[in-house]
């Protein structure tokens, strides 16, 4: 933690109603690169979560009543403070999550860009007037903040997954309570410190950091004062939380798991496809929901694509995220290493071929070698589950129709990618892919101006873009009669 120069960013307890909750019952935050304890954070309980919800409820009326321009001004201040502290926030993020520092800096800027975007969008929360069916009536439509928003976020983007939700919620006039993943609470608490410095009023932005995910989750999904629940995480946990929200008929957004196909057609620019795959596969050591999971390559270009990819992959630097030039950091924990190892081994047992890598890296027990596997097929577990590690699995196909069928053969529908220079094929395939986001000759698709989200069991709701406010507003119809 000596790498962090602004010590105020290192906080050790939840942030509820504008104050830090410090007590002796603490949990360890571990650096995944070397398993050292980075910090101990006071463990929030379900009762703390309830207190956070009540403080958000108390703060709601005043925050919602602020002119949009005022909320925008405060959010802009938050954005600026985050960018001023980008280096420290990035180091903190790398320490607790593991990703290379350059990527962590990218995540801080990416998360902050949503705050900037929604600060601007806050002023454009337009309503509507609709021609009425009779002369004595007027129809007016207004958009109002839903109320208290509760959120639960994962460890793979400890800053951005919170910023993306909070930015839209606060811009719309909602108040916010988030439970970050227990492995990465420090980035969330640093965001709270800067929210406070930016002048976000007490109770408007609350962070509840604890290890009782189930207990805290019960409060955040069932409390009568929570109007909306937003979750980013695995599909399995998302399904459970959806059921909990159903009892209170809460509004819900779900950003869940993915199983992205990455298709390389025979007319593609193969070098560009390799570069695109490097972005789509190896960011965050393969631990993103939009990571390329199934790499489908047309048979006539399969060998040349595999050869070029192997050469490019050998140039990846695996090292502690704080080390100069690191491109692949550690996996988040032992369980992640075991899962990646097991998926790879079962593919090899069923006839896949190992071309590169294939096990832990000498950098440490949670570092996995960039690995390339060929001759994968759709029946293998590695094609059905999120790999969440730096393992690229190649599968051959013959026709466009076969590629589309293979790509859509999953219960997930978050991101897909394909490379082609045939304009007709580009439109046909883009239309046929059953995914919320499609990268066409592009491996990095996410930004604040674009709607991020999935279909099928990858969830619903959109984060970012002008659509992003919809999830945090209710439409109210006013009928003026007797005119
Ligand atoms: P996870 O196990 O579902 O955990 C996510 C969050 O849910 C954590 O804060 C966790 O808390 C909490 N949680 C776990 N069990 C819970 C329960 N019973 N009740 C309430 N909360 C509970 O997912 P993960 O392994 O951390 O994250 C990886 C997953 O997230 C992948 O599937 C990835 O694809 C997905 N993801 C999706 C997106 C997207 O935008 N679609 C973005 C990023 C990640 P604890 O940490 O305290 O256990």
pLDDT exceeds 90 at position 287 = yes
Q: Tell me which of 184, 207, 213 to substitute to probe ligand 1's pocket, judged by most ligand atoms within 8 Å of the beta carbon.
A: 213
- The separation between CA 426 and the C-alpha centre of its own chain, rounded to angstroms, equals 27
Question: Per-residue pLDDT tens for 403-423?
Answer: 999 999 999 999 999 999 999
**Residue 2's pLDDT is what?**
83
Is 289 assigned a catalytic role?
Answer: yes
Cβ 166 vs Cβ 137: under 8 Å: no
**Residue 411's pLDDT is what?**
97
pLDDT exceeds 90 at position 67 = yes
Q: Residue whose CA is closest, atom 18 of ligand 1? A: 214
Mean pLDDT value across residues 115-120:
98
Q: Residue whose CA is closest, atom 41 of ligand 1? A: 255
Distance between Cα 51 and ligand 1 center (Å):
23
**Residue 23's pLDDT is what?**
87
Pair of tokens at residue 271 = 């070098």
Pair of tokens at residue 439 = 């990268």
**Residue 212's pLDDT is what?**
98
Cβ 373 vs Cβ 392: under 8 Å: yes
Question: Given 50, 255, 386, 463, which residue is catalytic?
Answer: 255
Distance CA 313, CA 281 (A): 11
Band (178; pLDDT cuts 50, 70, 90): very high
- Closest atom of ligand 1 to CA, residue 233: 30
Is 291 assigned a catalytic role?
Answer: no
Distance between Cα 351 and ligand 1 center (Å):
32
Question: Per-residue pLDDT tens for 428-450?
Answer: 999 999 999 999 999 999 999 99
Cβ 259 vs Cβ 455: under 8 Å: no
Pair of tokens at residue 377 = 């097929």
pLDDT exceeds 90 at position 3 = no
**Residue 1's pLDDT is what?**
83
Distance between Cα 232 and ligand 1 center (Å):
6
Distance between Cα 152 and ligand 1 center (Å):
7
Q: Which residues line ligand 1 (CB under 6 A)?
A: 152-157, 161, 179, 181-183, 211, 213-214, 217, 232-234, 237, 240-241, 255-258, 289, 386, 414, 454
Q: Residue whose CA is closest, atom 12 of ligand 1? A: 213
Q: Residue whose CA is closest, atom 46 of ligand 1? A: 181
Question: Per-residue pLDDT tens for 141-165?
Answer: 999 999 999 999 999 999 999 999 9
Q: Residue whose CA is closest, atom 42 of ligand 1? A: 289
Q: Residue whose CA is closest, atom 2 of ligand 1? A: 234
Q: Tell me which of 234, 260, 413 to substitute to probe ligand 1's pocket, judged by most ligand atoms within 8 Å of the beta carbon.
A: 234
Question: Given 50, 96, 174, 289, which residue is catalytic?
Answer: 289
Question: Per-residue pLDDT tens for 9-26?
Answer: 999 999 999 999 998 999
Closest by CA to 159, choosing from 198, 187, 181, is 187
**Which residues share a beta bridge with 296?**
263, 395
Q: Tell me which of 154, 217, 288 to substitute to probe ligand 1's pocket, judged by most ligand atoms within 8 Å of the beta carbon.
A: 154
Distance between Cα 5 and ligand 1 center (Å):
30
Q: Residue whose CA is closest, atom 30 of ligand 1? A: 233
Cβ 122 vs Cβ 71: under 8 Å: yes
Distance between Cα 222 and ligand 1 center (Å):
18
Question: Per-residue pLDDT tens for 349-360?
Answer: 999 999 999 999
Strand order in the sheet with 128-130: 128-130, 138-145, 473-480
Write out 333-400 in H/E/C secondary structure: CHHHHHHHHHHHHHHHHCCCEEEECCCECCCCCCCECCEEEECCCCCCHHHHCCCCCCEEEEEEECCH
Distance between Cα 53 and ligand 1 center (Å):
20
Mean pLDDT value across residues 372-384:
98
Closest by CA to 216, choosing from 9, 453, 16, is 16
Q: Tell me which of 27, 161, 233, 259 to substitute to probe ligand 1's pocket, judged by most ligand atoms within 8 Å of the beta carbon.
A: 233
Share of the chain above pLDDT 70, in %: 100
**Residue 388's pLDDT is what?**
98
Distance between Cα 437 and ligand 1 center (Å):
20
Question: Per-residue pLDDT tens for 188-242?
Answer: 999 999 999 999 999 999 999 999 999 999 999 999 999 999 999 999 999 999 9
Q: Residue whose CA is closest, atom 20 of ligand 1? A: 217
The secondary element (H helix, E strand) that includes residue 145 is strand 138-145
């Amino acid at each position: 933690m000596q790498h962090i120069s602004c010590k105020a960013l290192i906080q050790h307890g939840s942030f509820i109603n504008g104050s830090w909750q410090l007590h002796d019952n603490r949990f360890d935050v571990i650096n995944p690169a070397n398993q050292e304890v980075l910090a101990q954070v006071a463990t929030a309980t379900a009762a703390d979560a309830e207190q956070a919800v009540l403080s958000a409820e108390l703060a709601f009326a005043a925050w919602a009543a602020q002119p949009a321009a005022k909320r925008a001004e405060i959010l802009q201040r938050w954005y600026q403070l985050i960018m001023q502290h980008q280096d420290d926030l990035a180091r903190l993020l790398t320490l607790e999550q593991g990703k290379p520092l350059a990527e962590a800096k990218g995540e801080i800027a990416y998360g902050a860009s949503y705050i900037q975007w929604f600060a601007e969008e806050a002023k454009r929360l337009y309503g509507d007037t609709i021609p009425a069916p009779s002369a004595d009536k007027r129809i007016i439509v207004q958009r109002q903040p839903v109320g208290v928003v509760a959120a639960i976020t994962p460890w793979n983007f400890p800053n951005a997954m919170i910023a993306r939700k909070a930015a839209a919620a606060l811009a719309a006039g909602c108040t916010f309570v988030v439970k970050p993943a227990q492995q990465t609470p420090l980035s969330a608490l640093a965001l709270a410190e800067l929210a406070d410095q930016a002048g976000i009023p007490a109770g408007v932005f609350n962070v509840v950091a604890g290890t009782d995910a189930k207990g805290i989750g019960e409060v955040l999904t069932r409390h009568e004062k929570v109007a909306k629940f937003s979750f980013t995480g695995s599909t399995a946990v998302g399904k459970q939380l959806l059921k909990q929200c159903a009892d209170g008929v809460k509004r819900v957004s779900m950003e869940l798991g993915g199983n992205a196909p990455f298709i390389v057609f025979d007319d593609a620019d193969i070098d560009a496809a390799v570069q695109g795959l490097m972005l789509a596969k190896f960011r965050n050591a393969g631990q993103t929901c939009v990571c390329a999971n199934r790499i489908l390559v047309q048979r006539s270009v399969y060998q040349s694509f595999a050869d070029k990819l192997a050469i490019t992959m050998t140039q990846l630097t695996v090292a502690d995220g704080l080390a100069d030039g690191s491109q692949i950091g550690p996996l988040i924990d032992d369980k992640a290493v075991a899962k990646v190892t097991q998926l790879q081994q079962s593919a090899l047992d069923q006839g896949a071929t190992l071309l590169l890598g294939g096990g832990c890296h000498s950098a440490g027990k949670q570092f996995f070698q960039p690995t390339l596997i060929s001759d994968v097929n759709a029946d293998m577990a590695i094609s059905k589950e999120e790999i969440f590690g730096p393992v690229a699995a190649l599968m051959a196909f013959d026709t466009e129709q076969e590629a589309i069928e293979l790509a859509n053969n999953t219960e997930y529908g978050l991101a897909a990618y394909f490379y082609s220079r045939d304009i007709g094929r580009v439109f046909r395939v883009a239309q046929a892919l059953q995914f919320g986001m499609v990268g066409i000759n592009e491996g990095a698709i996410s930004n604040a101006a674009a709607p991020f989200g999935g279909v099928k069991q990858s969830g619903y709701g959109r984060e970012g873009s002008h659509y992003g406010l919809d999830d945090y507003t209710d439409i109210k119809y006013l009928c003026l009669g007797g005119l």
